[in-house]
């Protein structure tokens, strides 16, 4: 912005982020990060064949096997989620990702609004492909973007830009 550029920032929101982590993909990523042998087997036993049930007053549901997700409320849950999404920035070509737990912001800088719109949409396409391959879903209703620049720079542009993912328009 100091160089007279404008920035676009995407604020991504994932649907049920911690609940939808695919165990097989997570195990593969742990292996890629060098977790092997007994340690990897321990993670498999920690993730696979988990069950949960619901209890309200004195009524208890039948146990249900969990096929995905990291244990919430555990010390490892947030860490495993971070490992799961750690490679998201690798899909980006012309932007910077800032990640904290399940909150991700993508920032793109540009000299002009048309180029900013094109780059934001290209990065959203890359993000969509990454999400699909990692079995995660973007919450389009809660995902937003903003255009940031000096008042002087932004006043030169009369039209708004449109950013979309998979044919769905993102709110500004």
Q: What is the DSSP letter of 156?
A: T
**DSSP-derived secondary structure for 71-106:** -TTSSHHHHHHHHHHTTGGGG-SS-EEEEETTEEEE
CATH number, domain 6-169: 3.30.70
**pTM for the whole thing?**
0.88
Distance of CA 146 to the CA centre of its chain: 17
Alpha-carbon span 60 to 28, nearest angstrom = 35
Cα distance between residue 44 and residue 35, in whole Å: 11
Confidence bin at 73 (pLDDT 50/70/90): confident
The residue extents of the domains of the chain are: 6-169
pLDDT in tens, 12-43: 999 999 999 999 999 999 999 999 999 999 99
The dihedral sign for the CA sequence 57, 58, 59, 61: positive
Residue 66: pLDDT band by 50, 70, 90 thresholds?
confident
Find the range with the poorest average confidence among 32-36, 63-67, 165-169: 63-67
Mean pLDDT of 94-123: 93
Count of beta carbons in the 10 Å neighbourhood of residue 129: 11
Look at residue 50 in the predicted model and tell me its pLDDT. Answer: 83
What pLDDT score does 72 carry? 82
Task: Give the ranges where 13-75 is alpha helix by DSSP (H).
Answer: 23-32, 37-47
């Amino acid at each position: 912005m100091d160089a007279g550029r404008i920035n676009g920032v995407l604020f991504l929101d994932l649907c049920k982020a911690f609940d939808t982590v695919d165990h097989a993909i997570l195990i593969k990523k742990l292996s890629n990060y060098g977790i092997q042998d007994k340690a990897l087997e321990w993670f498999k036993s920690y993730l696979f064949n988990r069950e949960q049930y619901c209890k309200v007053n004195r009524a208890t549901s039948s146990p249900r096997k969990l096929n995905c997700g990291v244990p919430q409320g555990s010390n490892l849950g947030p860490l495993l989620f971070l490992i799961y999404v750690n490679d998201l920035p690798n899909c980006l070509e012309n932007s910077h990702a800032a990640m904290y737990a399940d909150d991700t912001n993508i920032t793109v800088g540009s000299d002009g609004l048309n180029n900013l719109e094109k780059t934001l949409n290209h990065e959203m396409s890359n993000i969509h492909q990454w999400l699909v391959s990692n079995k995660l879903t973007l919450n389009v209703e809660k995902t937003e973007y903003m255009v940031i620049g000096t008042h002087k720079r932004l006043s030169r542009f009369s039209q708004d830009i449109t950013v979309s993912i998979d044919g769905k328009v993102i709110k500004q």
